[in-house]
A and B are shown apart, each in its own frame.
Chain A
Amino acid sequence: MIRSSLLIGAARAIRKIGGDFIDRVWRLGAGTRLLGLTLISSGESFRRFHLVIREVYFTGVRSLIIISVSAFFVGMVLALQGYNTLQKYGSSEAIGVLVALALVRELGPVVTALLFAGRAGTAITAEIGLMKATEQLSAMEMMAVSPISRVVAPRFWAGVISMPILASLFSMIGILGGYMVAVPLIGVDAGAFWSQMQANVDWRFDIVNGVIKSVVFGVACTIIALFEGYDAPPTAEGVSSATTRTVVTSSLVVLALDFALTSFMIS
């Protein structure tokens, strides 16, 4: 009796793992398909670019405050931590390089993408999920207007355009935060701070690679947010769990992609 109930339990667990796995693979496929459809249906977004500009305002411009404030603090903390270690080796002038490289190569793109997923990604998922729940997407379909080209594509391009700009701003403001701590507060020489940074930050290897990362993160975060919204069950519970999934999936994908991209770029 006990043995058979154990067997039933084990079979149920295996079935659940299998079911979850199939579901993940299905979602990956459906998400990729949405990305493909979005790219194919993007013509409208470029012909009527004001649709994209409007979304850049909602996803990009309205993320500016959280991005700027976070960047400033991240820069300040980097300078404090960096100085603490660098002065042990007598190279505290290199603080500018440390702050700039950390931001431009890694923290700028990655932290911006994580904040973007939390600020703009969730908003996109909730908006599209609710549009679906209130039949707005069906209404559009019935009017012979494709929701992919009218709703999804402009938001996608807005995310892809916003992300590198936000990441660049993040790095700039972060460097400013680092400067504020290193120069006026700690007393590092301002000339050394900037000149070392200029000499050691490479345009192609550091800055362009950082921008490439942020573009890739922009594509990933935006399509995940759009897919979760588009795929959300049209109920309050469905939209809320889709919003949560956007943050969790985006964050994990950004971190995994960051590792993959960094290893390619360094090798």
Chain B
Amino acid sequence: MTQNIVEIDNLSFGYKRRMLHQGITMAFPRGKVVAIMGGSGSGKTTLLRLIGGQVKPSKGEVRVDGKVVHEQDREGIYLLRRKMGMLFQHGALFTDLSVFENVAFPMRELTDLPESMIHDLVLMKLHAVGLRGAHNLKPAELSGGMARRVSLARAVALDPDIIMYDEPFAGLDPISMGVICDLIRTLNDALGATSIIVTHDVEETFSFADYIYFVANGVVAAEGTPNDLRNSDLPFVHQFVYGETDGPVPFHYPAGNYKEELMGFKA
């Protein structure tokens, strides 16, 4: 058993015109909560898709439990994915199924558990996220925070080894945010899983993550524990952590000469 459940090794990935990642190396030790942070459009979510085998790297490799993801055939990738649970940005609940059926979905599809056991397991998972009482509701009847929690219950339905979170705090009120923070840490420790969180919310992430990677311009710009990063001298990390509007990440999108563009305008 390798010490790191997920390893990203010198990974490059991009589309025809733009390389998103250029030689990224990361390690996710078992049992830890690791965050990947960076600005919007820095390819954080794509890293999760690469770990899940939904896209293939242009160079380098991702290893999950010692196995190179992009070398697996379809069966192999599905076997690896059974070890993963993923919370999508907006929950991605199945809108035609009730809350109960959403959480039961992976159990029904991937196991032969009897109905009575599925019933008990689903209620236990929902109880863990505080929504046992909402099991009869439809996703449309839930608030954003509740939907995220149901989705979390579904992600951990089969007790995965790796739980991936794509922007778990986006668009949540402070109370729901606090609840999700607590749940990420508690579920991680209770299940003995490894959590990978993609986010740009500094305060929340710094409060519970064990280790943080900063991604910028396609490379790992900085890494360390929350304390290391708070005290970092790197200008980019400083700008990001303290939310300064201008710095190494410029306020302005690259543009031509301002004066020339205004004066040269012809209707």
Question: Chain A interface (Cβ within 8 Å of chain B)?
Answer: 130-131, 134-136, 138-139, 141-145, 150
Contacts and interface: CB of A to CB of B under 8 A. Distances in A.
A134 B90 contact: yes
Interface string B81-100: 11010101110111100000
A142 B105 CA distance: 13
A141 B106 CA distance: 11
Contacts, number: 44
B110 A144 contact: yes
B86 A145 contact: no
A145 B109 contact: yes
B136 interface: no
A234 to B, nearest CB: 12
B52 interface: yes
Contacts of B79: 144
Nearest to A146: B78
B225 interface: no
Contacts of A142: 52, 54, 81, 84, 86
Contact of B109 (A135, A136, A138, A143): A143
Chain B interface residue bracket vs A: 10 to 19
A144 B78 contact: yes
Nearest to B86: A142
Given A141-B52, A141-B81, A142-B54, 15 more contacts: A130-B95, A131-B94, A131-B95, A135-B88, A136-B94, A138-B88, A139-B94, A141-B54, A142-B81, A143-B81, A143-B105, A144-B78, A144-B81, A144-B82, A144-B110
Contacts of B109: 143, 145, 150
B95 A134 contact: yes
Nearest to B49: A138
Interface of B: 52, 54, 78-79, 81-82, 84, 86, 88-90, 92-95, 105-106, 109-110
A144 B89 CA distance: 19
A53 to B, nearest CB: 15
Contacts of A131: 94-95
Contacts of A145: 105-106, 109-110
The 9 A-B residue pairs whose C-beta atoms are closest, nearest first, are A135-B92, A139-B92, A144-B78, A144-B81, A142-B86, A145-B109, A135-B88, A143-B106, A144-B82
A135 B54 contact: no
A150 B106 CA distance: 12
- Interface majority SS (helix, strand, loop, mixed), chain A: helix
Given A143-B106, A143-B110, A145-B110, A138 B92 contact: yes
A134 B94 CA distance: 9
Contacts of B54: 138, 141-142
Contacts of B110: 143-145
A145 B109 CA distance: 7
B78 A135 contact: no
B90 A135 contact: yes
A265 B78 CA distance: 46
Nearest to B77: A144
Given A143-B105, A143-B110, A145-B106, A136 B86 contact: no
Contacts of B95: 130-131, 134, 136
A139 B86 contact: yes
A12 to B, nearest CB: 21
Nearest to B87: A139
A142 B77 CA distance: 10
B89 A135 contact: yes
Contacts of A138: 54, 88, 92
Nearest to A58: B96
24 contacts: A130-B95, A131-B94, A131-B95, A134-B90, A135-B88, A135-B90, A135-B92, A136-B94, A136-B95, A138-B88, A138-B92, A139-B86, A139-B94, A141-B54, A142-B52, A142-B54, A142-B81, A142-B86, A143-B81, A143-B105, A143-B110, A144-B110, A145-B106, A145-B109
Contacts of A143: 81, 105-106, 109-110
B2 to A, nearest CB: 21
Contacts of B93: 136
B162 to A, nearest CB: 11
B197 to A, nearest CB: 16
Given A145-B106, A150-B109, A139 B78 contact: no
Contacts of A134: 90, 92, 95
Contacts of A144: 78-79, 81-82, 110
